[in-house]
Amino acid sequence: MANKAPNPMKRLYTLLGIILFLMLGAYGYTLLTEYKSEEMEAMEKAVRKKAKALAGEAAALAERAIREGFKPEEVKNCRNVVTQYQTPDGWEQTDRKVNMLIGIRASSSHQDMEERCIYFAKVVAAMERVSHHERHVFVCGESTFNVSGAAKLEIRPDPKGRGVIHNMEGKRDDLLLIKPGRSTVLQHWQLFNVGDGCMVVGMSRSAGTLKMSGSVARVEE
């Protein structure tokens, strides 16, 4: 039986189909490449804009620090106040939580937080002129500064702004009067009374030969 001759029209249609498929594929790839390129360009533009804004903020903060007499790194330490606190696993840092820990409303704006942290940096500068400590931290509300070691001590701010409340070895609470805007030293710990239910604690690991450990327990939500 003789072989049937191939249909030239069928071959032509097949060839045209292949060409059309390749053209559509190339067109689709071009569109996808252009879209990705535009998307990447937009992302890079946003990153550059953010970096420029951050650089501008850092420069403005540095200028203000020189003018008003505080260290910019203390503002950063205030923003990262959560690192000074004992927190359970999985507890995430948010602006609302930071605001609460530094003694302002949870709903306060970023600018409010920044001003509060600048205030903190100025307090630290004033405290350092009296006595040097390795680190400082805001303690507000029901949060408590706990000392372990040679003598167990708990210190928390007086909610009425009169000073701090402390107890040794779990005994009765005592009120230590500190005028708002002033600091004093209690058992080697420097305490600054903000006057609004917050205090700033100057912490060190040792005082002479006495080894100490201080930590802050956050208020439960």
In angstroms, the CA 71 to CA 135 distance is 13
Q: Quick one: pLDDT at residue 159? A: 94
Per-chain mean pLDDT for the chain = 81
The residues near 83 (Cβ < 8 Å, ≥ 6 apart) are none
Specify the higher pLDDT residue, 92 or 116: 116
Mean pLDDT along residues 162-187: 91
Q: Flag whether 82 is in a domain.
A: yes
The parent domain of residue 164 ranges over 69-217
Are 200 and 135 a contacting pair, CB within 8 Å?
A: no
Q: Flag whether 137 is in a domain.
A: yes
The residues near 68 (Cβ < 8 Å, ≥ 6 apart) are 118, 122
Q: Flag whether 89 is in a domain.
A: yes
Q: Is 198 helix (H, G, I), strand (E, B) or coil?
A: strand
Closest CA to 158 of 137, 136, 142, 134: 142
The residues near 212 (Cβ < 8 Å, ≥ 6 apart) are 147, 148, 149, 150, 188, 204, 205, 206
Query: For residue range 116-146, what is the model confidence (pLDDT) as tens digits?
Result: 999 999 999 999 998 888 889 999 988 888 8
H or E stretch including 159? none
Q: Flag whether 175 is in a domain.
A: yes
In angstroms, the CA 193 to CA 154 distance is 16
Q: Flag whether 15 is in a domain.
A: no
Indicate the number of domains in the chain: 1
Q: Flag whether 5 is in a domain.
A: no
CA angle 112, 76, 123 (to 5 degrees): 70
The answer, as to whether pTM is greater than 0.75, is no
Are 103 and 116 a contacting pair, CB within 8 Å?
A: yes
Q: Flag whether 59 is in a domain.
A: no
Residue that is written with structure tokens 């450990």 in the block: 213
In angstroms, the CA 151 to CA 63 distance is 43
Q: Flag whether 147 is in a domain.
A: yes
Query: For residue range 164-176, what is the model confidence (pLDDT) as tens digits?
Result: 999 987 788 999 9
